[in-house]
């Protein structure tokens, strides 16, 4: 890979952090993961990266970006923190 290719790839991706809560953390085996995603990635796109491990569809989860509730179509920016929050029960 040439330096120009490496710079181009970096310009087309952004760093994010993904947080997992409750059983989601157990299923993916971690409470957080750092990763690079393509520019234009949405919250739903990030969920799809982990959907098989989580074992439930997106409509069963809540999402937040930078500690603010977010819909699946929210586009991410460099440095965003995405929280994947499964349904919880309590009383």
39: helix, coil or strand?
coil
Distance CA(43)–CA(48), nearest Å, equals 9
Angstrom distance (rounded) from CA 91 to CA 18: 28
State the Cα–Cα distance between residues 52 and 32, nearest whole angstrom.
17
Give the pair of three-digit tokens for residue 57.
């569809």
- Each domain of the chain, given as residue ranges in start order, spans 13-85
Q: What is the pLDDT of residues 37-91, one digit of tens each?
A: 999 999 999 999 999 999 999 999 999 999 999 999 999 999 999 999 998 756 5
pTM for this structure? 0.85
Three-state secondary structure call for residue 85: strand
pLDDT at 3 over 70: no
Domain 13-85: give its CATH superfamily: Beta-grasp domain (3.10.20.30)
């Amino acid at each position: 890979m040439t330096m120009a290719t490496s710079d181009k790839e970096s310009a087309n991706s952004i760093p994010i952090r993904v947080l997992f809560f409750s059983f989601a953390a157990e299923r993916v085996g971690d409470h957080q993961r750092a990763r690079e995603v393509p520019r234009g990635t949405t919250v739903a796109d990030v969920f799809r990266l982990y959907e098989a491990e989580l074992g439930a569809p997106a409509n069963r989860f809540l999402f937040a970006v930078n500690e603010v509730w977010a819909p699946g179509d929210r586009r991410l920016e460099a440095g965003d923190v995405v929280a994947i929050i499964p349904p919880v029960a309590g009383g």
